[in-house]
Amino acid sequence: MSEFESLPMAKALNAGLRQAMQDNPKVLLMGEDIGPLGGVFRVTEGLQAEFGDKRVMDTPLAESGIVGTAIGLAMRGYRPVCEIQFDGFVFPAFDQITSQLAKLTNRHEGGISMPVVIRIPYGGHIGAVEHHQESPEAYFAHTPGLRVVSPSTPHDAYWMIQDAIRSDDPVIFMEPKSRYWPKGDVDFADRGRTLHSTAVAREGTEVTLLGHGAMVSVLLQAADLAAEEGTSVEVLDLRSLSPIDYGPILESVRKTGRLVIAQEAPGFGSVGSEIAATVAERAFYSLESPVLRVSGFDTPFPPAKLETIYLPDADRVLEAVDRALAY
């Protein structure tokens, strides 16, 4: 493997999983159709042939059973990585994740660890049917005991999946499925930043745009369009939804005086809501306008033919930028 390579995110995740399995024989992969098929998005392609069916295990269609088994394996010293085939399929496992996985370490006063990673392909932009394009990250970010992260680039995907597997705490690993295929440079020698850190994706001076996962590419597109109109926009990639690295966010807001938060998830009770409240508390006197949010609507995800109306795009982001600058 060369030091640099241009890969789609799906291949970068595959490489990261392979590296983690080579580094630690206690790393196991579990999920529906992840073996010979390589998963519906081919993220685990070739791994069962390389590591065997005792380490890359096809499971029944039973998400609660997958996560429950992973909890037992973690108690015995393994580091299981569970794939939830699509975002909307995670809810049969919700009780295991929020009532057991998230609480066991605290329940035992730190006497046991839960090094379990739950991989969840999430979000829209793929024209899929009901339960295949949702953004449930706020449920897990709200749950103490869980770490929640989401890469936006192949480079981050490669390094973040390995960092998540090394964590002794459970990690909900949200993979923006619409970013599985676009290629990006992966530096195999230097991760560049830690797992729970906010990154500056583009520097600017007048407005801060903040998002995670697939939304980062939308914000960068909006920043390009804003620059054509003479507006300097800074773009931040949240990367970690719990815990949140507020340092770069507050630093950027104190510089620009304006913050627009964008997400695919519905706006009410969301990660964006939490960030907006915290920024208002901690950087109030630096704000030149209210913190604005651009999100999916507070409705169930619509049929595929309506997803472009539901999902925030560059135009909706730019409309918020204009409102922020108008104050």
Q: Concatenate the DSSP letters of all residues of 113-163 into one string.
A: ----EEEEEE-SSS---TTSS---HHHHHTSTT-EEE---SHHHHHHHHHH
Q: Which residues pair with 27 in a beta bridge?
A: 79
Domain with CATH 3.40.50.970 in the chain: 7-187
Per-residue pLDDT of the chain (327 residues; tens, 9 = 90+): 568 899 999 999 999 999 999 999 999 999 999 999 999 999 999 999 999 999 999 999 999 999 999 999 999 999 999 999 999 999 999 999 999 999 999 999 999 999 999 999 999 988 888 888 899 999 999 999 999 999 999 999 999 999 999 999 999 999 999 999 999 999 999 888 999 999 999 999 999 999 999 999 999 999 999 999 999 999 999 999 999 999 999 999 999 999 999 999 999 999 999 999 999 999 999 999 999 999 999 999 999 899 999 999 999 999 999 999 998
Residue 273 CA: distances (Å) to CA of 235, 270, 318:
18, 5, 19
Write down the residue that tokens 């960030």 correspond to.
275
Strands 147-149 and 4-8: unpaired
Counting beta carbons within 10 angstroms of the beta carbon of residue 109, is it exposed (0 to 12), middle (13 to 18) or buried (19 or more)?
exposed
Dihedral over Cα of 267, 272, 277, 280: its sign: negative
C-alpha span between 24 and 112 (Å, rounded): 19
pLDDT at 1: 52
Q: Is 3.40.50.970 the CATH number for 7-187?
A: yes
CB 167 within 8 A of CB 195: yes
Considering just the CA atoms, what is the radius of gyration of the chain in Å?
19
**The pLDDT value given to residue 149:** 98
Q: What is the CATH number of domain 199-326?
A: 3.40.50.920
Cα–Cα distance between 276 and 249 in angstroms, integer? 11
Cβ atoms within 10 Å of 285's Cβ, excluding its own: 5
pTM of the model: 0.96
User: What is the pLDDT at residue 174?
Assistant: 98
Q: Token pair of 220, please? A: 């960068």
Grouping H, G, I as helix, E, B as strand and the rest as coil, residue 241 is strand
108 is catalytic: no
Please list the residue range(s) of the chain that carry CATH number 3.40.50.920: 199-326
The active-site residue out of 132, 155, 196, 212 is 132
Handedness of CA 20, 25, 31, 34 (dihedral sign): positive
Q: What does each C-alpha distance from 109 to 100, 160, 232, 246 come to in angstroms?
A: 14, 27, 49, 28
Q: What is the pLDDT of residue 132?
A: 87
